[in-house]
Amino acid sequence: MIRPIIVANWKMNKNTQEAISFFKEFCTDPTVSSGQVSCIVCPATTLLHTAASYADTPNLSIGGQNLNEKEKGAFTGEISGTMLRDAGCKFVLVGHSERRHLYRESSDLVAKKAFAAAHANLIPIVCVGETLVDRQGNKTFQVIRTQLNALFNEAPFLASFIVAYEPVWAIGTGQVATPEQAQEVHAFIRQLLVERLGEKGRLISLLYGGSVTPENAKSLLTQPDIEGALVGGASLQAASFLQIIHEGARLC
């Protein structure tokens, strides 16, 4: 297996002191600096400077959770890709289902954000995924295709990006997709990427997200088209996030 990418999405959690405690424990774990796993932590915007001060730890990078599609201007409360880059980020999540559903972000907007991220020299981690209603109506593939088509239309020249498959029904619910369900969609995404991007499509890393825990990480990460994980709840404690990193490292 290629080097897994394991991403922490802290969402709207943690103050500075809690972030420092996390990084003190996390950064001294030898597996983190061993290079077997690529670790990315995406904290809230207020914690980016604190997080960036630990980014000299080998194999640890910092990411934003969202960005505005514009470069700068009168957009009160927003943050641009260049600002994230300036704060020490190398990655940024775009199109997380909480953004798509709670803040009504369309696939076209998500594609614009991915493009803005690349323009700011950030690698976008583009999240896609179906709702329970979509799955029950056998629309999973159709939904994923539509979400990715927008990305291909708006940003055909993205130098580099990552795709995270996160079934909405599995996020924060404890209801993880079975490894077979996740693999089926990952194989479909891989096929779409190759159809649209040719050989380059094989180089895009595909992550699974949605109720990943230390207990289920191994069975997910051993699927042929799952190359890493996007972890919410289980990334808030250094100990549980490290257990997931250790599972990834054992597969190398």
What positions carry a catalytic annotation? 96, 166
Nearer to ligand PGA, 4 or 233 (CB): 233
- CA dist 137 and 151 (Å) reads 24
Interface pattern 230-249 for ligand PGA (x via CB under 6 A): xxxxx---------------
Which position among 110, 211, 247, 248 is part of the footprint of ligand PGA (CB under 6 A)?
211
- The answer to whether residue 118 forms part of the interface with ligand PGA (CB under 6 A) is no
| Contacting range for ligand PGA; rule: CB under 6 A; set: 130-138, 149-157, 203-211, 237-245 | 203-211
Name which of 63, 20, 14 is nearest 41 in CA terms.
Answer: 63
| Contacting range for ligand PGA; rule: CB under 6 A; set: 67-75, 115-123, 140-148, 207-215 | 207-215
Q: Roughly how many angstroms between the first and final C-alpha of the chain, as a whole number?
A: 6
Helical H runs in the chain? 16-27, 30-34, 48-52, 81-86, 97-102, 107-119, 132-136, 140-154, 179-197, 217-221, 238-250
| Chain Cα centroid distance, residue 26 | 19
Interacting positions 152-181 with ligand PGA (CB under 6 A)? 166, 171-172
Could you tell me the smallest distance in angstroms from the CB atom of residue 230 to ligand PGA?
Answer: 5
Nearer to ligand PGA, 100 or 112 (CB): 100
Nearer to ligand PGA, 33 or 66 (CB): 66
Interface pattern 214-233 for ligand PGA (x via CB under 6 A): ----------------xxxx
Kindly compute the dihedral angle of the four CA atoms of residues 64, 70, 71, 72, in this order, to the nearest 10 degrees: -100
Nearer to ligand PGA, 137 or 172 (CB): 172
Distances (CA, A) of 123 to 83, 129, 161: 14, 19, 5
Number of residues that bind ligand PGA (CB under 6 A): 13
Interacting positions 56-75 with ligand PGA (CB under 6 A)? none
- CA dist 233 and 237 (Å) reads 8
- CA dist 230 and 91 (Å) reads 13
Residue written as tokens 């539509």?
146
Interacting positions 3-32 with ligand PGA (CB under 6 A)? 9
- Interaction site with ligand PGA (CB under 6 A): 9, 166, 171-172, 209-212, 230-234
